[in-house]
Amino acid sequence: MTSAHSLGAAVLLGASLLAPWAAQAQQTIESLGLTVTTTPLVATDYLFRGISQTRDRPAIQGTLDVEHESGIYVGAFLSNAMFAGTNIRQELDGFLGYRFQALGAKFDLGAVYFAYPGYDEPPGGFSPNWWELQAKVSYEIAPFKLLGTFAWSPDYNFESGNGFYLEGGVDVALPYAFTLSGRLGYQWIDRNFASVNRPNDGYWGAPDYMVGSVAVSREIVWGFIGTVGFSFTNLSQTECFGGQKICDNRVYATISRPF
C-alpha cells in the first residue's frame, strides 16, 4: 500500500457553493412527484476537503440528483481521479437521504458510498472504497445563509478506521448577483499512519487537519455558473502523504451548468 492515501469525495467543492443556482435549473416529473437536477462541472482541480483528488490536474465531473416530493432523494457523482502509486483513474459515488424543513431551517440526512471502479488492490493493500453518514443543516437570514455539516465514517478511506468531519460555513448574497462563500472544517481520522503493532490495519497517510475556503460565484451567461476561490489546509508538504503537494493552499475555479 502506498503512502498516497488521498480522500474520496462526496460532493463537489464548487457545487455546494452553487446550490442556489441548481435550484433554479431543476426538471420536474409531476406524475411521479420527482425533481431531477443534472449538473456537469469542469474544474481546474478536484478538491475534496482541501485535498486534490486529481494530483493538481483539471477535472470533468457530473452529479445527478433525483428527489421525491416526500424529501427522499437518490443520486450519483462521477469524476476523473488520480491517486499517486495506484491505478485509480475515476470515482463513482452513490448517495441517498432525506431532506426536510423544521424550525425555520433546512436539514439533509444522508449517506454516501465512494467507489473507484477499475482499481487493482495490490497484495497486502487496502481498499479505497468507503462510506459515510452525513447530517447537514442550513438557516437563512437574508442576505446570510448559515451552513453546518457533520459526517462520520465507520471505516474511512483505505480502511483507516473511524473518520469524523465537522464544518461550518456562510454564504452571503452580494450586489450584482454575486455570492461570497466561506467554509471552515476539521477532519479527524482514527488511524493516520501505519503501526508496527497492527500491520493488518489500514491507515490514511496524513495527520488530522483543518481545511477552509473562500469563494465568489455568479451566473455568467445562459445558466453557466462560474466560481473562483481559495482553498487551504494546515498540512505542510512533509505531512502530506509522504511529501506530496496535493494538500497545498491553492486558487481554484469551476464552471457548471445545472439542468
Residues 21 and 209: their CA atoms lie apart, in Å, by: 31
CATH for 16-256, options being 3.40.50.2000, 3.90.110.10, 3.20.20.70, 2.40.160.40: 2.40.160.40
Residues 207 and 230: their CA atoms lie apart, in Å, by: 22
Please state the domain extents for the chain: 16-256
| pTM, 2 dp | 0.89
The helix (H) or strand (E) run that includes residue 134 is strand 130-141
| Three-state secondary structure string covering 20-84 | HHHHCCCEEECCCCEEEEEEEEEECCCEECCEECCCCCCEEEEEEEEEECCCEEEEEEEEECCCC
Angle at 14 between CA 81 and CA 256, to 5 degrees: 85
Provide the residue-wise pLDDT of the chain in tens; the chain has 259 residues.
333 343 333 333 333 433 443 344 678 888 899 999 999 999 999 999 999 999 999 999 999 999 999 999 999 999 999 999 899 999 999 999 999 999 999 999 999 999 999 999 898 889 999 999 999 999 999 999 999 999 999 999 999 999 999 999 999 999 999 999 999 999 999 999 999 988 899 999 999 999 999 999 999 999 999 999 999 999 999 999 999 999 999 999 999 999 9
- Residue 91 identity: E
Q: Is the peptide bond before 199 cis (omega within 30 degrees of 0)?
A: no
Question: For 57, how many CA atoms within 13 A lie in the half-sphere containing its CB?
Answer: 12
Let me know how many helices (H) and strands (E) the chain has, helices first.
1, 15
Backbone φ and ψ for 159, nearest 5 degrees, come out as 55, 45
Question: For 197, how many CA atoms within 13 A lie in the half-sphere containing its CB?
Answer: 1
Residues 214 and 13: their CA atoms lie apart, in Å, by: 11
Closest CA to 78 of 53, 110, 44: 53
- The SS3 of residue 223 is coil
